[in-house]
Amino acid sequence: MQKLRTQVGIIGAGPAGLLLAHLLHRSGVESVVLEICTREYVEGRIRAGVLEQGTVDLLNACGIGDRMKREGLVHNGIEIRFNGDGHRIDFPGLTGGKRITVYGQHEVVKDLISARLQYGSVLLFGVSEVTVHDLQSSRPSIRYMHADELWELNCDFIAGCDGFHGVSRPSIPPGVLTAYEHTYPMAWLGILAQVAPSSQELIYAHHGRGFALLSMRSPEVSRLYLQCEPDESLTNWPDDRIWEELDSRLHDDHGWTLKQGPVLQKSVTGMRSFVVEPMQFGRLFLAGDAGHIVPPTGAKGMNLAVSDVEILSRAITAFYRERSQDMLNGYSAACLKNVWQAQRFSAWMTLLLHKIPGQSSFDARRQLAELAYVTSSLAAATTLAENYVGLSNRA
């Protein structure tokens, strides 16, 4: 068995793991990042792309934001559309100047990988058979196969940034974690289309046929979603039907037109909420999807992961600089404060905008009344805006 030593072993080369490694590097803390997938797969997988103001500020502050500033799409609001009318939520006007930036998660990952390789840090793709050991000791370890050899990475801390299906969370002994989860009775059919976005800002549409969302990835590529059944088959959705349904659900009564183009990708994503408490066990710390999942309506998934690792990097840095474990001991509580606020907002946005299967005519009318209130009340619109751009106590 080959052996390797570092201060922090990081499992997962998504945005959480890579950003944690970068933040630690800037603080003089060594780390090794292990990823089971190839670099090509990690850089190519399309995920969320809405960055809160705090996420943008952090990426800029740590030297990762140059390409984001050139290519990211800064948005000053979103539109909520129902009953044929659009209602704009003005983010800067309601939040004291805060905005969002549309910049794909895979683009952030590319930037972070480039930075890690530039600094000569250890980043291993294509590892397998990953296991963690001695989590309650001061010298935990990670074992894995790489290039047909068995390796043991000895470290002071392990960061589990390997997503919902990774090995980190299941490695915590039974009975330690409490899981809270909710499955929503709807899913999103998502498409990526080679066509310029039909709006300069995101459009969230409530419609009698179901929810729709117009988003984008670049000035030339649109990202669009339709509410569908959780067990929906893509064979039921030829391109013509997708565009017809999008046009119907996003329609307004004022001449707006949906641009159409070649569909590049299709996928169905179920909607659920999931949280485990605590997000730590011994020297293992969970971050990102390893510890929580939110429905995508509130655009919080990646931003929560960034918040987690910002907190964790500060805690680990304090341990090495001050020999203090106070922040490490409080890591889970600090993260969960933000996680539950994001869960609350994401659930509210989901139930506000979607057609709820089996809802009564009373509930449907009540939902429309709530949409009218949210878009006409300064107080209600401010609440939506400040949650969407990111609460100030996120880290």
The fold for domain 183-271+354-389 equals D-Amino Acid Oxidase; Chain A, domain 2 (3.30.9)
Confidence of residue 196 (pLDDT cuts 50, 70, 90): very high
pLDDT score, position 44: 84
Where does the pLDDT of residue 47 fall: very low under 50, low under 70, confident under 90, or very high at 90 and above? confident
Q: Domain residue spans in the chain?
A: 2-75+100-180+272-349, 183-271+354-389
Q: Does a cis peptide bond (omega within 30 degrees of 0) precede residue 15? A: no
Q: Is 197 a catalytic residue?
A: no
Is residue 292 among the annotated active site residues?
A: no
Coil, strand, or helix at residue 205?
strand
On the question of pLDDT at 394 being above 60, the answer is no
pLDDT in tens, 137-189: 999 999 999 999 999 999 999 999 999 999 999 999 999 999 999 999 999 99
Catalytic residue among 103, 144, 184, 204: 204
373 in active site: no
Q: What is the pLDDT of residue 45?
A: 81
110 belongs to the catalytic site: no
Let me know: does 26 contact 121? Beta carbons within 8 Å. no
Kindly report which listed range (44-58, 60-74, 157-171) carries the lowest average pLDDT score: 44-58
pTM: 0.94
In CATH, what class is 2-75+100-180+272-349?
Answer: alpha beta
pLDDT 10s digits, 293-333: 999 999 999 999 999 999 999 999 999 999 999 999 999 99
**Separation of alpha carbons 147 and 127, rounded Å:** 8
Q: Is the pLDDT of residue 228 over 80?
A: yes
- What is the per-residue pLDDT for 48? 73
Which of 15, 140, 295, 296 is catalytic? The answer is 296
Helices (H), ranges, the chain: 15-26, 39-44, 53-61, 66-71, 91-95, 105-118, 239-249, 301-322, 326-329, 331-353, 361-376, 378-389
* Catalytic (active site) residue 204: yes
pLDDT per residue as tens digits for the range 371-383: 999 999 999 999 9
Mean pLDDT of 65-83: 96
Q: What is the mean pLDDT of residues 261-288?
A: 97
Instruction: Give the pLDDT score at 393.
Output: 56
Query: What are the tokens at 20?
Result: 């944690």
Transcribe 316-332 into DSSP letters.
HHHHHHH---HHHHTHH
